[in-house]
Amino acid sequence: MEKPEDVKFAVLGAGNGGTAMAAHLKKMGVQVRLYDRFWNAIEAIKRQKGIFLEGRLGNGFYRMDLITNEIREAVDGADIIMVVVPAFAHKYIAERLANYIQPGQIVVLNPGRTGGALEFAQIFGSKLEDIYLCEAQTLIYASRKVKPHKTKVYGIKEKVGIASLPSHKINRVLHLLNRFFPQFVKWDSVLHTSLRNLGAVFHPVPTLLNVGRIEDKKESFDYYIQGISPTIARFLELVDAERISVAKAFGVEAPTATEWLKQTYNSEGYDLYECVQHTRAYMGIKAPNKIRVRYVTEDVPMSLVPMIHLGKVAGVETPNMQLIVELASKLLRKNYWESGRTLKDMGLEGMNIQEIIEFCRG
């Protein structure tokens, strides 16, 4: 695999992130197979035979090597499988991927949210020994699918943490992955990627606290720049402080959301509100037009709920996180405590702090 064209990527998911990644990879000259289980997500792409890309990565059309809703076709013989689906779809993908995963293949969750790789590992079982399972802390791109076959990249992160399960396998992964994504940097374990999950902070709160504005539908507004007011930013800082406390209890040094913006996007500002206002990658990203979106349906059950469960193991109180889970459950009429990712799902049930730390190191 000395030449880019010899490397085979499978991108699972044809949403905002998946289409950006597939087009970007094709721009780099590798073989790309794009999969989505929903035909309407890939119909226009299949008709065009590829994806139109615009924005920070330049403008152009990139033809895919395969576009399919058959996961077997997508992953057969692939060197690297990039899972770019909302975390609530992780279980579905893992159960199907387990039937076709081959020894030596690399699987990367982009991102894992909280405990994604751990849930995959439970489903893969003994097959985990022969593969390389990893999760990224966040998605590399700030992007949106502007048409069914066109994606715009607003920004690309300078550094994204990545870890493997077990942790010692990450060097083999980065040896290949950094050829295409130098942004990926090694982190100690999947606890680090899970507890430095900023989606838990930036996604549910602004969506839920802007519910009236979103459902009014009379205006389109920038999700981050206009949707995060000074008051909302202050509440985000409270949620973020709980995340940092949970992380600290498990020996993970986690930057604040403000520090993360400065490190990731070179944002400037005294506090979180100011940093958001000066984050170029967020400019132009519009708010959703409905409340039932992945910022809630993904990040409440798959980011906040498992983080709260980990907090309980460590004796860390998370009243603000719990408030958001309750609010989301009431507004969307769904019990996210029941549908959220549990300690059992992650294979951590009955463990104490030290046992969880050791288990995540592998």
Among residues 341, 337, 313, which one has the least CA distance to residue 325? 337
Which segments of the chain are extended strands (E)? 8-12, 31-35, 50-55, 60-63, 66-68, 80-83, 106-109, 132-136, 141-147, 150-156, 160-165, 184-186
Residues 353, 313 contacting (CB under 8 angstroms): yes
- Residue 98 contacts residue 123 (beta carbons within 8 Å): yes
Longest CA–CA span in the chain (Å) reads: 54
Distance of CA 118 to the CA centre of its chain: 14
Using alpha carbons only, give the angle 277, 86, 167 rounded to the nearest 5 degrees.
95
C-alpha–C-alpha distance, residues 282 and 58, integer Å:
17
Q: Which of 298, 291, 303, 276 is nearest to 333 (CA)?
A: 291
CB atoms within 10 A of CB 2: 5
- Count the neighbouring beta carbons within 10 Å of the beta carbon of residue 116: 30
Q: Which residues are part of the catalytic machinery? A: 203, 299
